[in-house]
Chain A
Amino acid sequence: NAGVTQTPKFRVLKTGQSMTLLCAQDMNHEYMYWYRQDPGMGLRLIHYSVGEGTTAKGEVPDGYNVSRLKKQNFLLGLESAAPSQTSVYFCASKTGGYNEQFFGPGTRLTVL
């Protein structure tokens, strides 16, 4: 099993550009998450999904949109990138209940 994979690994954008980050998991997990990691801030939840076709806002959702059209995929979109969105983005997934989350390798995004 590949676990949780993320595409791309690195990306540089100019302010105002848009992009989509893809997260895929092959563990048949119901729950999927998008976090951003910034120095000294830990991980902050952007959006999450509790199943195919459902999404919900996390702690820092502004400037991001998500979609979960297929159970195995969770997409994070930036419609108009800003320098404040320079960060490392992690996707995670888990089964239902209060179980541990499994993390992807991350995407390092720089917005100039």
Chain B
Amino acid sequence: AQSVSQHNHHVILSEAASLELGCNYSYGGTVNLFWYVQYPGQHLQLLLKYFSGDPLVKGIKGFEAEFIKSKFSFNLRKPSVQWSDTAEYFCAVNGGSQGNLIFGKGTKLSVKP
């Protein structure tokens, strides 16, 4: 069965620091990968997605992610975080014949002003 691992449970950064959140998945076939963000008290919103092509994917709000097939990874990055990036971030991979998403357990990001 497919699974998604997010290595960091809680990351605390100061504003302007660089961010990298790890995501690894287990699946040997073609994958579609997603990063969602959940701001405090809100629903999940799509940050970016990878289906095929350029493994470096750019999303909203200055986020990007790199798909490294050999490492089964899809890490999320941002060069300089802001206080408004405080949120929980979820990595997800499509799973099953119905295209259901398998989510990681999430990483909470706290940005200190």
Chain A residues near B (Cβ < 8 Å): 31, 33, 40-45, 48, 50, 56, 58, 90, 92, 94, 96-106
- Is B74's CB within 8 Å of the partner chain A? no
Please, how many angstroms separate the alpha-carbon atoms of A105 and B42 in the complex? 6
The interface size of chain B toward A, counting residues with CB under 8 Å, comes to 21
**Chain B positions within 8 Å of A105 at CB level:** 42-43
**Chain B positions within 8 Å of A40 at CB level:** 9, 105-106
Of A42, A50, A99, the contact of B90 (CB 8 Å cutoff):
A42
**Chain A positions within 8 Å of B49 at CB level:** 100
Given known contacts A33-B100, A48-B100, A98-B99, A41 and B105 CB-to-CB distance under 8 angstroms: yes
**Chain B positions within 8 Å of A44 at CB level:** 103
- Is B82's CB within 8 Å of the partner chain A? no
A94's nearest neighbour on chain B, judged by CB, is: B99
Chain B residues near A (Cβ < 8 Å): 9, 32, 34, 36, 42-46, 49, 51, 90, 94, 98-101, 103-106
Q: Can you list 26 pairs linking A and B with CB atoms under 8 Å apart? A: A31-B99, A33-B100, A40-B106, A41-B105, A42-B103, A42-B104, A43-B90, A43-B103, A44-B103, A45-B100, A48-B98, A50-B98, A56-B98, A58-B100, A90-B44, A92-B44, A94-B99, A98-B94, A98-B99, A100-B46, A101-B101, A102-B46, A103-B44, A104-B43, A105-B42, A105-B43
Please, how many angstroms separate the alpha-carbon atoms of A98 and B29 in the complex? 14
Contact present for A103 and B45 (CB under 8 Å): yes
Contact present for A90 and B90 (CB under 8 Å): no
With A45-B100, A103-B36 already in contact, 12 other A-B pairs whose C-beta atoms are closer than 8 Å: A33-B100, A42-B103, A44-B103, A45-B101, A90-B44, A94-B99, A97-B99, A98-B94, A100-B49, A101-B101, A104-B43, A105-B43
**Chain B positions within 8 Å of A33 at CB level:** 100
